[in-house]
Homo-oligomer: A and B are copies of this chain.
Amino acid sequence: MSYSFRRNRHSIQEYVDGILREDRVMLSKAITLAESKLVNDNGLAEKVIERILPFTGDSIRIGITGVPGAGKSTFIESFGKHLTSLDKKVAVLTIDPSSQLTQGSILGDKTRMEQLSNDANAFVRPSASGDKLGGVHAKTREAMLLCEAAGFNVMIIETVGVGQSETSVKNMVDFFLLLLIAGGGDELQGIKRGIVEVADAIVINKADGDNISRAELSKREYQNALHLLSANDNKWQPKALTCSAMKQTGIEDVWKMICDYQQLTSANGYFKKQREKQNTQWMYDTVFYHLHQRFLQNEKIKKDLPDIEQKVRLGEIPAIDAARILLEMYHQ
């Protein structure tokens, strides 16, 4: 009986059944459970995910990143609406490492993508804010699997391109899209270095009105740069496109491009190989994350680390000495 659980928990069977019958209230609750910091919840969530795992994987997973101001929400709304018009079922998970998961930010995100949120074939959900060591990513992966089991076949993972999340997101999606606006080279200010080179496509948004020619110019520049810089093992040549999310132009081409990518990489085996690699990566990430956390949460380490780190930073003690001291302290 669900009422016997604290904070309205359900049984494993109830979660699984709810998700498989595409009940989005149950989906939401299951994601909340997976994101919970309570140990009991984690155990329960793991069991749910184990059960729904056979029903996952049958989607295209798209990572979208870009600086604030690139128009990510408007783009995702426009892109998502296009997809639902093609009878796709679209789930959007947004990761904002700077915000805590408060009622405020949930409402904020829903307001940001109002049309999509009210679309019967779409599901918009902010992902729990994690710590800088990567806690968020395991949760996002779980949320993604839960959405897939609930019948969503296009997954969109949105991040702000300024933090550490992007590389991790790259490691959990099939296609990684960088959204920019034309701005004479300044448009990458704030984007973490290295992101452009791992992008499968750069889309220049706000190509409308007076801005069209600037956006086209910017596109050509990126096209040249991508051509010069790319060295892929999936045979995909990263593309640069323009669009206007506001005017809803170019959105179809973005989707066509992603379909081309999926076709190419499915045919040459890269799609499957990448997914398999991501599974293994996920396991190691989780293991190493826990090892690091266990170390950093150790009482003795917590007490002495700030002082030792400061001394190492200033060159007062060698880093290897400090590491040895900390490890001895920890393993005592």
Binding site for B on A (CB under 8 A): 46, 49-50, 53, 57, 138, 141-142, 145, 185, 188-191, 193-194, 196-198, 221-222, 224-225, 227-232, 275-277, 279-280, 282-283, 286-288, 290-292, 295, 308-309, 312-315, 317-324, 326-327
Contacts and interface: CB of A to CB of B under 8 A. Distances in A.
Contact of A313 (B224, B279, B287, B322): B279
A230 B193 CA distance: 7
A291 B292 contact: yes
Given A225-B229, A279-B313, A283-B312, 6 more contacts: A50-B318, A50-B321, A191-B231, A193-B231, A229-B229, A277-B313
A204 to B, nearest CB: 12
Contact of A327 (B282, B290, B327): B290
Nearest to A167: B194
Contacts of A232: 193
A276 B221 CA distance: 36
Contact of A185 (B145, B227, B312, B317): B227
Contacts of A319: 141, 279-280, 282-283, 286
A287 B326 contact: yes
Nearest to A322: B283
A276 B309 CA distance: 10
A276 B232 CA distance: 34
24 contacts: A46-B321, A49-B318, A57-B315, A141-B319, A141-B320, A142-B320, A185-B228, A193-B198, A193-B230, A193-B231, A221-B228, A225-B225, A225-B228, A275-B315, A279-B313, A279-B319, A280-B309, A280-B312, A282-B319, A287-B327, A288-B288, A288-B292, A290-B323, A291-B292
Nearest to A231: B188
Nearest to A53: B318
A229 B53 contact: no
B312 A279 contact: yes
